[in-house]
Structures are given as C-alpha cells and as structure tokens.
Chain A
Amino acid sequence: QLQLQESGPGLVKPSETLSLTCTVSGGSISSSSYYWGWIRQPPGKGLEWIGSIYYSGSTYYNPSLKSRVTISVDTSKNQFSLKLSSVTAADTAVYYCARAAAAGTGQISGMDVWGQGTTVTVSS
C-alpha cells in the first residue's frame, strides 16, 4: 500500500527557507499516471494548493507562491521536496504531500493518497 511521509524542520525563522521532503513508500514515484503535490493548511483555515511535480521534473505552481516556491524530485530516493523561501508568519501551516492522478498535462483529477502532514511554524 502506497504511503507518503513528510519530514523536515518544525520551526523556521522569518526570512529563511522552509524545506520539506516527502518520502514515497510502497510504490514508485516514477509512475506515468501521477503527479506529486504539496498542499498546506494554516491553523483553523482551509487547504491551499502549493504546487505539483511529475517524475520527469515538470512543475506547476500556485501563481500566488510561484516566486518563492521550488518543488523537485529525486527518483533514485523515491522522494520529492518543497522549498519555500523568504518565509513569514503567514507561512505557518500544516504541510501535506499527496499523490495526484494525472488527467493530462498539468491536470489533476484527484489527490488520492496523502501524508499525515507536518506542522511548520515560522517564528524567531
């Protein structure tokens, strides 16, 4: 059974770069049928899509975060990663990684497997 697990620092200082990794187990990240995505949820608020990546390295980002976000994939380690630069308190959230079924180039039909989420707090 496919499982996703987020890892990374739980505390990041303002203006620094948030870095998280999602490790995929029980299946290959190199499947042509899926994208791999990051979603976040600030405390008490709704879900926000951050971006997605295909195993080939093609990326799609939320326009509102695009200038600060980099998502990368390491197929040899079956992992994909998120970097968010110049963080502020507004970036404090639970960050989820998820598998997303591909419906076409850049198109997601549904995110069917999620990690448990990791809480990242931005504070000095």
Chain B
Amino acid sequence: QSALTQPASVSGSPGQSITISCTGTSSDVGSYNLVSWYQQHPGKAPKLMIYEGSKRPSGVSNRFSGSKSGNTASLTISGLQAEDEADYYCCSYAGSSTLFGGGTKLTVL
C-alpha cells in the first residue's frame, strides 16, 4: 500500500481560497467515504478538521470544507487567515488498514 498523494506545498494570500488534493486509488479513497483531514502546526499534535469526507467536527471553522470525486479527495480553505499556515494531511480507510497522505505545507503569503 502506498501513501496517498498530496502536493508538497500550496500557498495563498489572506482572504483567498486554496484547495489541497489527495489522490488515492479505487482500493482506498475511491471505495470508501472515510477520508479525514488533519491540520498540524509545528511541534504540535495533529488536529482533526474534516471526517467522513465532508463533515466538520464541532469547533472547526466553516471555512474548512471537504469533498471527493472518484479517487481524489480535496480540502478547501476559504478566507485564508495567517493561523491557517500549517501542514495538512489527508487520511483514508483502505480495507483493514489506514493510509495517510505525505502532507502539504500551506503557506499564507
């Protein structure tokens, strides 16, 4: 099983929207609606931002949204803020296993 594929980095200016993609296969992302997204600031534990593809946990800003098309899941952050600068990881159930993406560093310009 290979890690899910994410872009290494994305950037955007405050107020803009960005989208991070997460590409898997028909054995993981494409077969299950069980993609989750995590935000990680340096030296901190990851924080759940999206689960089951598009659901937001209580307390997570509605600026964060998730979607899926085929074997690719996406995380969109609208109205970028400086505090959104962090690493983002996607994660998917993969049939008795769980896979993470390689991570995407978001820079807020």
Interface 9-mer from A16-24, A68-76, A109-117: A109-117
* Residue of A47, A48, A101, A107 touching B46 (CB-CB under 8 A): A47
Q: Does A81 have its Cβ within 8 Å of any Cβ on chain B? A: no
- Nearest CB of B to A93, in Å: 13
How many A-B residue pairs lie within 8 Å, measured between CB atoms? 72
Counting chain A residues whose Cβ lies within 8 A of the other chain, the interface size class is: 20 to 34
Contact B97 A114 (CB under 8 A): no
Interface residue? B51 (CB, 8 A): yes
Among A47, A96, A103, A114, the most chain B Cβ lie within 10 Å of the Cβ of A47
Interchain CB contact (< 8 A) of A107 among B45, B93, B103? B93
B1 within 8 A of A: yes
CA distance A106 to B34 in the complex (A): 12
- Interface size of B in residues (CB-CB distance below 8 Å): 26
Identify whether the interface residues of A are mostly helix, strand, loop, or mixed. Answer: strand
Tell whether B24 is near chain A: CB-to-CB under 8 Å.
no
In angstroms, how far is the closest chain A Cβ from the Cβ of B2?
10
Question: Which residues in B have their C-beta under 8 angstroms from that of A112?
Answer: 48, 51, 57
Is A122 positioned at the interface, with any CB of B under 8 Å from its CB?
Answer: no
Complex contacts, A124 vs chain B, CB 8 Å: none
Q: In the complex, which residues of chain A have a beta carbon less than 8 angstroms from the beta carbon of B98?
A: 37, 49, 52, 60, 62, 108
Chain B nearest Cβ from A103, distance in angstroms: 6
Give A49 to B52 CA distance when docked, in angstroms: 17
A31 at the interface (CB under 8 A from B): no
Tell whether, in the assembled complex, residue A116 and residue B45 are in contact, meaning their CB atoms are under 8 Å apart: yes
Given contacts A46-B100, A48-B100, A114-B47, 8 further A-B contacts (CB under 8 A): A46-B3, A47-B40, A47-B100, A61-B97, A106-B96, A109-B93, A110-B50, A114-B46
On A, residues with C-beta under 8 Å from B are 37, 39, 46-49, 52, 60-64, 96, 101, 103, 106-112, 114-117
In the assembled complex, 12 residue pairs joining A and B whose CB atoms fall closer than 8 Å, in A order, are A39-B100, A46-B100, A46-B101, A47-B38, A47-B100, A60-B98, A106-B96, A109-B93, A110-B36, A110-B48, A111-B38, A112-B57
Which residues in B have some Cβ–Cβ distance to A below 8 Å?
1, 3, 32, 34, 36, 38, 40, 45-48, 50-52, 57, 89, 91, 93, 96-103
